[in-house]
Structure 1
Amino acid sequence: MTEPLTTAEAMEAAALNREPHTDGTDHAPAPPHGPRPRSPAEWACRRIVLYLKAFEENLDEEHEAAMGFASGPGDGVMRIQGIGFSAPDLVTFAGVDARGERMQLVQHLSQLSVAFRAVRKAPDRPAQRIGFKLSRALEDDPATGAKRHADTT
């Protein structure tokens, strides 16, 4: 008998053997000869998206997800706008700091540590749910021709 899966483990297991596209740009179909081997960076990126989505599921309408840093510009927070990877060993995070200035973090897998924070949204727009948008690619199934989602805004 197997042990029950946590929510994140179940989401990760359901996403296996699918092609994720978390950058919000081109969502090309899966390679014609089946899925390609994934690098450790791609696996890390896929799992971070799943954890981000799970984190956002518990936020109210006045808060959105950001990444917290022990040190950094402003208040040490980046509002996440995108997550990606560079095989075989880098994960990237793009977003804006507390002043609204663009920033990007490139992190080696050996140093990877992600802290999500709930931050108050801007008053003039709805709270962003980037994890939900990024995870749509994990839910799309190229084998069945299911619709792919390119929009992350």
Structure 2
Amino acid sequence: METPYNLASKRFHEFNAGIRVTKPNFDGSITLTNKGILLWASYAHYFDHEKVAEAAVVSRMLSEKENVLVVGGTWIMDDKTTVKARFDSRGKLVTLLHHKIKPKTCIKISSEFDPKALDRIPIIRYGLSLSKSERFPFSVVWSS
């Protein structure tokens, strides 16, 4: 539970509360955030010694009565390559391929497809991250 209090205004600025259950093969949580406006529930299940995972997140804006469902998965192919994908209830599909070339150099290719916007070309991004240190990474991203 988190409730920051501002002494100058004498008010609580936010109210966040939640519970999380963690086991070796799954994680689950329910969180109430943004002063009780957003209810968030998530579940992740790990398969094959954490090389494959699937997850689902349901969020509900209590003030607007809007639900959003997101399902996705991760597949760690080897020590250098990871593939991720997610699909939301609005119809958007997002994928990511992350490949380490060297210990601090990686290439990322992501794509985003929105079936509601079939008149537009899907977004594909290419990225190259070079990092000499964790504090000052350098990255380049190309989009088409």
TM-score (norm 2): 0.27
TM-score (norm 1): 0.26
Greater strand percent: which structure?
2
Q: Quick one: higher RCO (CA 8 Å, sep 6+), 1 or 2?
A: 1
Structure 1 or 2, whichever has the larger Rg, is: 2
